[in-house]
Structure 1
């Protein structure tokens, strides 16, 4: 049986705001998804952004740590971010395998000596298009069974601009030179992606509604009415993946619609942990 820990990257206010729109905090959604992938997994949650936060069990009890996205910007060096950097360095030091989505990738990169900045190419919203595996990525176990080029759920305006020494870029696209990477520090190994394999379509819809007028102002939607229509389509497709009319209209394929394809990197991480534990 695997024992996993999900670290929520958000502040208490951020978690509350997301739970109001999505029905659960990012860590709750992430934990539920990991339980679905690893049927026998016991999954705990921690909130390392919080003052005095502690893990439910000692860190060494966990076979792996997964890190959610966050609304924080790591270059602001707020205390909520600095506490998380310390947490990730501790996990690295203990040699516990990690996986991170979006903020998780940025956090691991900075903790190990890399750099994150605001993307001069702008925000990536709802779907990261034409992500391409690098030569290293095509051979990496994180991406086993992944097509050479694919789309993925996404929302971010920051990107990793400098990876730590020895890190391996495994995927990229036109908006981000680092869409996925392996990062090592001491005895620790981190696999991470700039996108969100854990997001269901309803999570993407909730995210679009939550950003609202910001996305209209940035030119992604002509109006809030158009934004709401897009979010409604995503919600309907989430309820019925056979809605070919919606999938065709939005340009979405199995890499977004089918959870077995969408969650490939996380499934591979879980399987890697199982093999590691069985040795």
Structure 2
């Protein structure tokens, strides 16, 4: 029975803000996605941003570790971020496979010697458009079942600007040269994406409502009423994927509306853990 660990990227305040809007913290929602994709798995949650955080089990008790998004900015080097950087370095050293979304990719990048900064092109909101697999990405098992170009849920202002020495870009778009990557460090392997394959359409609606006025100020919406209509359309589509009118109006396709396609990278990572376990059992 595989045991997985979800590392919550947010501080306590960030978790509370998200839960007030979405009903669950990001790590709780991510754990639910993992349980749906791997019903046989035991999934634990930890909050390493907290000063008093403890892992439920030793690192080597886990077959794989997942890192959520976060409202933190890693280049500010706040204690909540520094604690997570050190933990990820330890995980790399111990060789437990990791997967991360958004903050997770940024965290693994910095832990392995790369750099992250504020995106001069601005914020990527709602959906990352026209993500294109690189030559390495087209051959990478993380992206199995993905089209060469696709859209995905996304919300971020920061980007990876310099990959670590043993990093490979597997996807990019006009907003970020690193939309997905594999990073190797120590004994460890990390697969990560700048977008959020774990997000449902309801989650995207929640994060847009959570940010609110800044999205109006930045020109994404004319006013809060327009923002609310957009979020309401996403929430409606979440519950009724047959609404072709909403798919058309929102400019979305099945790479977002279909759960299996939207969550492809997570499912592929879980499958890679199965293969790793099988190989270990044959050679153990």
Deviations 1:229-250 (A, max 9, x none): 0000000000110111111100
SS of the aligned residue for 2:176 comes to coil
**Distance in 2, Cα, partners of 1:166 & 1:183:** 6
- Partner residue of 2:78? 78
Counterpart in the other structure of 2:161: 161
Root mean square deviation, CA, Å: 0.5
2-side partners of 1:124 and 1:104: how far apart? 16
**Residue in 2 aligned with 1:204?**
204
Distance 2:109 2:51 in 1: 23
Residue 62 (str. 1) matches residue 62 (str. 2): yes
| Matched residue, 1:5 | 5
Aligned twin of 2:116: 116
- Cα deviation, 1:225-268, whole Å, max 9, x if unaligned, reads 00000000000000110111111100110111111000000000
Displacement of 1:74:
0.3
Deviation at 1:134, TM superposition (A): 0.1
Where 2:96 maps in the other structure, the secondary structure is coil
Count of aligned pairs between the two proteins: 279
2:282 aligns with: none
* Equivalent residues in 2 for 1:167-182, closer than 5 Å: 167-182=167-182
Query: Partner of 2:250 in structure 1?
Result: 250
The residue aligned with 1:33 is: 33
What does residue 133 of structure 1 align with?
A: 133
SS in 2 for 1:177: strand
Q: 1:74-113 maps to which residues of 2 (within 5 A)? A: 74-113=74-113
Give distance in 1, aligned partners of 2:40 and 2:73. 35
Offset at 1:2? Answer: 1.0
Distance 1:78 1:186 in 2: 25
Aligned-partner SS, 2:178: coil
Q: Deviations over 1:67-119 (max 9, x none)?
A: 00000000000000000000100110110000000000000000000000000
Residue 144 of structure 1 deviates from its aligned partner by 0.9
Q: How does 1:185-224 map to 2 (within 5 A)?
A: 185-224=185-224
Q: What TM-score results when the alignment is normalised by the length of structure 1?
A: 0.99
> Greater CA deviation, 264-273 or 51-60?
51-60
Q: TM-score, normalised by structure 2?
A: 0.98
- Deviation of 1:52 after TM superposition, in Å, equals 2.1
Write the distance in 1 (CA, Å) between the matches of 2:229 and 2:206. Answer: 12
Runs of 4+ residues over 4 Å off in structure 1: none
Task: Give, in whole Å, the separation in 1 of the partners of 2:166 and 2:11.
Answer: 31
3-state SS of the aligned residue for 1:17? helix
Unaligned runs of 5+ in 2: 280-284
Shift of 1:145: 1.3
CA distance in 2, matches of 1:214, 1:93: 39
TM-aligned CA deviation for residue 203 of structure 1:
0.3
Aligned partner of residue 247 in structure 1, secondary structure: helix
